[in-house]
Structure 1
């Protein structure tokens, strides 16, 4: 299993990144909570990974720290939750927010995430409440706040910030019409794609 990738960050197009390790480029999908913490393109980066092998694909999912990866692994053990939905959940909520929603049986908060209906939310609470009761209590799971724009940072993308944000939200499970509405509600001229995505995801909860 590939548990960690360390190399040169050469592309950032949410929710995916491309990291060069000794000439080999690894395509990695990340929840936006981890994506916001990435350094600028051209800098070295380390991400903790979860490797998924399917009949039709081999996929790498990356996380800023072991705790978020651990939560992802617990999520995909739940009935009806695959890696894509796990990525969506951790993009729409931070790890502490998700843990709080489960422990408080806040089904309404969980239903606000794309791909999570009432029955799925209720099942997540039932399956994960006891399993996650002590999750992260021995370590600090609070993720560092995003510092915003970084001088000189260039994100490799073929579209402008608005289009890139729309593409990212659709990739995370939002329907095109819903993604368009969220982006239109927060977008302002001059905003970078990461900011648009972050604000759109906040507005969705």
Structure 2
């Protein structure tokens, strides 16, 4: 699946940007607040993506950072919030401010987002407070030491798995390989597959 697209920024609309890669121009739907931050026409940009695919439509959503994408994926887990509304939410409140409001349970701040009423704001807090997977700087401590398998852990988080469980599972599998005399850094694909099986069964 697509993780990101790098190419030439060719233009923007009110709700999307255009990126050309090897003769193909992609339309990527982005939060309005970040649309102007992708750069000027003609510049080389990278956008982190998520593909929405249904029988009757296909849309590519894009974000400045993996953390912004993770926040979007967290939002669509909330009952009643689909990709289109999640994008509107990210267009109404900066991602860092949104994360802070969710972690603080600030319903009033969430209601300041156009189209978000009290009931939806409360559902967002109930579902996401303490559960966000892509925090910036809202109070949740990051691991003091980065794992050598950060790419695998990030991929699992993007699939919807909890950050702590994903990290613990990956490290456990890697340690088992070391105990067996196997270099885990040479078996990253195997670690990734085994982690998915383990996380899906617990």
Report TM bin, short chain: 0.5 to 0.7
Deviations along 1:72-95, one digit per CA (max 9) or x if unpaired, are 111111111111111111111112
Tell me the residue number matched to 1:124: 124
2:48 — aligned with what?
A: 48
Moved over 6 A (4+): none
Provide the residue aligned with 1:36 in structure 2.
36
Unaligned runs of 5+ in 1: 140-205
Give the Cα separation in 2 of the matches to 1:54 and 1:105: 33
Aligned counterpart, 2:75: 75
User: Structure 1 residues 62-71 or 99-108, which shifts more?
Assistant: 99-108
In structure 1, distance between residues paired with 2:97 and 2:55: 34
Higher relative contact order (CA 8 A, sep 6+): 1
Deviation at 1:25, TM superposition (A): 1.0
Deviations 1:28-62 (A, max 9, x none): 01012321211111111110001110121111111
CA contact (8 A) 2:74 2:133 kept: no
The CA distance in 2 between the partners of 1:115 and 1:2, in whole Å, is 30
Change beyond 3 A, Cα 1:20–1:133: closer
Counterpart-to-counterpart distance in 2, 1:34 and 1:65: 10
Partners of 2:134 and 2:22 lie apart in 1 by: 39
TM-score by length of 1: 0.63
**Aligned-partner SS, 2:37:** coil
Equivalent in the alignment of 1:138: 142
Query: Over aligned residue pairs, what C-alpha RMSD do you find?
Result: 1.8
Which shifted more, 35-44 or 62-71?
35-44
User: d(CA) in 2 for partners of 1:7 and 1:100?
Assistant: 32
Question: How many angstroms apart in 1 are the aligned matches of 2:125 and 2:103?
Answer: 7
Measured against aligned partners, the alpha-carbon deviations of 1:73-130 in whole angstroms (never above 9, x if no partner) come to: 1111111111111111111111211111112221111112122111111010000002
**Between Structure 1 and Structure 2, whose CA radius of gyration is higher?**
2
